[in-house]
Structure 1
Amino acid sequence: MSLNFVRPPRLGPGSRVAALSLSSGFVTAVMDRYRAGVRQCAAEFGWEVVPAPNALRGPDFLDANPPARADDLHWALEHPGIHGMVSVIGGDDSVRLLPHLDAGLVRRHPKVFLGFSDSTVTLLHFLRAGVMAYHGPALLTDLAENGGMHPFVVQGVRRAVVDEPAPFDLSPAPEWTEHWQDWADPALQEVPRPFRAGDGWTWVQGDRPAEGHLIGGCVEVLDMLVGTPGWPAPELWRGAVLALETSENVPPPEQVGYWLRNYAAQGLLAGLAGLLLARPRGYAPEQVQALYGWVRRVLGEAGRPDLPVVANVDFGHTSPQLTLPLGGRARLDPPAGRITVFP
């Protein structure tokens, strides 16, 4: 089955992009970091990043007012002078927005939405409305990277939401980091973080090419969505390439396996075209190998030892990260070691 998602208009120089705090009001504690993200988006892409009406009202207000967070999303969709949206930062409770979200506005006013982690709730809200959404950096993370955006991030954002749509091959990041640097210290903003050499992808299983539309997000947030109106209908999973990332909470490999067993019990793994696993943040090498073992084990239990699985892909909670156009198509070619995206 082939699904067709509406592609939002591209963002270019002069686009006004709304900064949305849909998950957390944490940004008010690191306003220098916020301003760095605004500056760097202007320098790299020519975007004017503007805060949504409630985005900078702080954690106490936003925690107590999920409808106000949903109002910001709706404001950005309906406002004719806003051309796209970026998540300021993730969190752990945008699932509380579900009763207040209007899918009709997404369908009537399709615009780029960019984010990851807890933004999985919003990304899937767009897919359920039939509109592509973009799993990629948040304003306070890679877009405000210390010392300037990494070229790998700039390239990823450009290919996904700026340049004219054209197929492109993903590539492993030449270097990566999970080093923590204090965002509240403005003296550190121009101090680059230490990076380690890239170590490439791991093809976990599968030997035949496969293609499907991209769906997915943070596996912990997906777990929160099971059984809610935010959970994608079965037809959105069928024929999909599932992209999964883990958060800085470092869920044990067996827990990821249990979550995948839930997908198997729902019949979702049986219909997938492929699986992308993000580089897991905070995992020791033995945990990484245990994770791959659990993935193979659960897919074998589900009758899918044939499913192409590529791991250690640069999206999610390590930096620099790719931008994946959810709803766009991806082709996994294990013999060629190649992932092609059709945005």
Structure 2
Amino acid sequence: MIRYPFLKERATIGVTAPSSGMPHELHELLKAACERMEKMGFSVICGDTVWSQNKAKSAPAKKRAEEFNRMMRCEDIDFIFPPWGGELLIETLEYIDFENMKNKWVLGYSDVSLLLLAITLKTGIATAHGTNLVDLRGEYSDQTTVMWQAVLTTKESESILQHSSEKYQKEWQFDQPTSCIFNLTEETDWKTTINNKVKIEGRLLGGCIDAVRHLVGTPYGDVRNFKENVIHGDPLIWFFENCDLSTTDLRRSLIQMKLAGWFEDCSGIMFGRSPVHASIQGYTAEDVYHELSEELHFPIIFDIDCGHVPPQMTFINGAYAEIESNHGKGTVLQHLR
């Protein structure tokens, strides 16, 4: 069964960088985010890794893993919140102590989603795919992003409902930050591959496809064991978002997942909005979604609130979800059971 952590009031947040840390010129962003957390009533403990960045990583793999392991075991830390993603978290997996993890939330996205998915598949502990810590440094959060706290304070056996955003950010404007950090200017429009109204149910799993695809065929990506021994036959709903992959690389990655059995007993797939828009000889990401939907005989919902084109909902790896998309608007009802 899935084990759900719970975020208590006045919790202590452990900030560690299992992927990328903050280069010196960006330290003020993290300091501002930590100060915002403290104003919200949290205590914050930052590890050494968050303040350094060299050769595409915050620190050597063993050091990153040791700091993460320490925070996961520490009785005085309730919740792990990396500052953001990065590139090379996969180097740490062989040093992560999956056997002695305490039941506490880990929240993030991008490269961090590889660790989130590995934790849930290996241990049955639910993990949270949602906002980065540095994106919470504003005076307030938009109505979609702000739900992270409500989701993480949902108790086991309870449910939490989220609605699709009203608007999303087309591109980053770092020289024009808003009070909620994001420049939300474009109308959100969830799309589907079959018709204007879709409902799917199942256990959520997913993350940034650039990263999580590398779990295929490893001990950290054993989806079949998870289905048989943790969720006992419940269907899956996969959620993915694409940061950098070309259209053809996206297609190759999804076919590899299909051949590895990741999409067996699956009721649907969701894809977040992507900053990658270039087609290859007229071949687009939307073509990929439609082809995959036809091959797998289930609906695909895309351009949802997930990933590198904010804002994003908070999805719980392992939660039982009811997803509805109706003429461009969506709801996500997650049951922590």
TM-score range normalised by the length of the shorter chain: 0.7 to 0.9
Contact kept, 8 Å, 1:203 with 1:311, in 2: the verdict is yes
Q: CA deviation at 1:153?
A: 1.0
Moved over 6 A (4+): 284-289
Q: CA deviation at 1:163?
A: 4.3
Which has more helix, going by share of residues? 1
Structure 1 residue 115 corresponds to structure 2 residue 105: no
Structure 1 residue 328 corresponds to structure 2 residue 328: no
Structure 1 residue 253 corresponds to structure 2 residue 250: no
Structure 1 residue 143 corresponds to structure 2 residue 133: no
Q: CA deviation at 1:21?
A: 0.7
Give, in whole Å, the separation in 2 of the partners of 1:288 and 1:16: 50
The residue number in structure 1 matching 2:230 is: none
Q: Percent identity among equivalent residues?
A: 19
The residue number in structure 2 matching 1:90 is: 85
Q: CA deviation at 1:287?
A: 11
Structure 1 residue 281 corresponds to structure 2 residue 280: no
CA distance change for structure 1 residues 188 and 313 in 2, over 3 Å: closer, same or farther? closer
Q: CA deviation at 1:276?
A: 1.3
Q: CA deviation at 1:204?
A: 2.0
Worse-matched range after superposition: 233-242 or 110-119: 233-242
Give, in whole Å, the separation in 1 of the partners of 2:223 and 2:264: 15
Give, in whole Å, the separation in 2 of the partners of 1:61 and 1:200: 34
Which blocks of at least 5 consecutive residues in structure 1 are unaligned?
none
Q: Which secondary structure does the structure 1 equivalent of 2:204 belong to?
A: strand
Q: Which secondary structure does the structure 1 equivalent of 2:150 belong to?
A: helix
Instruction: Give the alignment of 1:15-164 within 5 angstroms.
Output: 15-43=11-39, 45-59=40-54, 65-106=60-101, 109-127=102-120, 128-140=122-134, 142-145=135-138, 147-154=139-146, 156-164=147-155
Contact kept, 8 Å, 1:18 with 1:50, in 2: the verdict is yes
Query: Normalized against structure 1, the TM-score is what?
Result: 0.84
Q: CA deviation at 1:62?
A: 5.3
Give, in whole Å, the separation in 2 of the partners of 1:179 and 1:279: 12
Question: How many pairs are equivalent?
Answer: 325
The residue number in structure 1 matching 2:294 is: 300
The residue number in structure 2 matching 1:339 is: 332
Contact kept, 8 Å, 1:211 with 1:329, in 2: the verdict is yes
* Amino acid paired to 1:317: H
Worse-matched range after superposition: 275-284 or 61-70: 61-70
Q: CA deviation at 1:214?
A: 0.7
CA distance change for structure 1 residues 19 and 63 in 2, over 3 Å: closer, same or farther? closer
CA distance change for structure 1 residues 87 and 289 in 2, over 3 Å: closer, same or farther? farther
Q: Which secondary structure does the structure 1 equivalent of 2:2 belong to?
A: coil
Equivalent residue for 1:213, pick from 203, 210, 213: 203
Query: Normalized against structure 2, the TM-score is what?
Result: 0.86
Q: CA deviation at 1:71?
A: 1.0
CA distance change for structure 1 residues 342 and 216 in 2, over 3 Å: closer, same or farther? same
Give, in whole Å, the separation in 1 of the partners of 2:257 and 2:300: 16
RMSD: 2.9
Give, in whole Å, the separation in 1 of the partners of 2:299 and 2:331: 11
Give, in whole Å, the separation in 1 of the partners of 2:129 and 2:113: 8
